[in-house]
């Protein structure tokens, strides 16, 4: 298992930083994107959260997340340094349909996406997965392990429900736990490395 960051006090990049990689942390409303970035970031995360109001309840689907009181209205941002000089810049996207116009701007320059899914409401992830696939970004799927999430689904059933290609990584994580969240990000990083290796070279021969 990967080791979690030990300190959030140093905002400066480590001297060993070599590859700076932009990653999207995305998923539907209330799936745990802000929590995951909080758990792994080595710097104090940036949040743009606002309290939910009665007005927003008319346009936001709160089914399954009635206990949620705040929402991201622009981005979450964090940073984590990995061994080998790789630094991930984590950009959390808002989960509601009304913020969809921000997607292209937030996704610009990203190399990949970690899509968080709630197994209690898998269908809530379809729109986000569609956006990621339309963007052409390689991605991994992480099921956030909520305490009351069903445990009887098999991996094949979950893959079929999300219509995932065989090569798309699918893991389970607890977004509250740094090591677990980091393992999910490492699954994505491994996938990105494999994706780059598999791409035909455009270098002149």
Side-chain-side CA neighbours of 58 within 13 Å: the count stands at 2
Q: Quote the pLDDT of residue 196.
A: 82
**Largest interatomic CA distance in the chain:** 62
Q: Is the pLDDT of residue 65 over 50?
A: no
Joined tokens for residue 161: 């429900």
pLDDT value for 53: 43
Task: Out of 4-8, 72-76, 171-175, 196-200, pick the least confident.
Answer: 4-8
Coil, helix or strand at residue 28: coil
Place of tokens 């740094």: 178
Residue 113 has pLDDT above 80, yes or no: yes
Q: What is the mean pLDDT of residues 136-149?
A: 93
DSSP 8-state class, residue 143: E
Query: Which of 23-32, 67-76, 134-143 shows the lowest mean pLDDT across its residues?
Result: 67-76
Rounded CA-CA distance 110/7 in Å is 25
Output the pLDDT for position 201.
53
Min mean pLDDT across 17-31, 96-110, 129-143 is at: 96-110
Confidence class of residue 147 from pLDDT cuts 50, 70 and 90? confident
Strand intervals (E) in 61-106: 70-72, 76-82, 86-92
Answer yes or no: is pLDDT of 128 > 50: yes
CB atoms within 10 A of CB 10: 11
Question: How many Cβ atoms are within 10 Å of 113's Cβ, its own excluded?
Answer: 27
Lowest mean pLDDT among 101-105, 164-168, 197-201: 197-201
Dihedral-angle region of residue 163 (phi above 0 means left; psi in -120 to 50 means alpha; beta otherwise): left
User: Residue 104: what are its φ and ψ, rounded to 5°?
Assistant: -60, -40
């Amino acid at each position: 298992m990967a080791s979690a960051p030990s300190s959030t006090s140093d905002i400066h990049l480590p001297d060993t930083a070599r590859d700076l990689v932009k990653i999207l942390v995305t998923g539907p409303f209330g799936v745990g994107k802000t929590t995951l970035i909080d758990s792994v970031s080595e710097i104090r995360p940036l949040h743009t959260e606002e309290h939910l109001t009665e007005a927003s309840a008319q346009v936001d689907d709160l089914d399954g997340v009635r206990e949620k009181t705040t929402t991201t209205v622009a981005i979450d941002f964090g940073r984590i340094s990995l061994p080998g000089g790789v630094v991930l810049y984590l950009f959390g996207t808002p989960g509601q349909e009304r913020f969809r116009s921000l997607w292209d701007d937030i996704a610009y320059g990203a190399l990949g996406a970690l899509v968080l899914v709630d197994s209690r409401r898998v269908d809530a992830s379809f729109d986000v997965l569609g956006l990621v696939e339309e963007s052409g970004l390689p991605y991994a799927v992480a099921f956030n392990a909520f305490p009351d999430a069903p445990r009887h689904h098999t991996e094949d059933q979950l893959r079929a429900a999300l219509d995932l290609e065989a090569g798309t990584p699918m893991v389970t994580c607890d977004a509250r736990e740094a090591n677990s969240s980091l393992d999910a990000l490492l699954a994505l990083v491994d996938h990105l490395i494999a994706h780059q290796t598999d791409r035909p070279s455009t270098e002149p021969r």
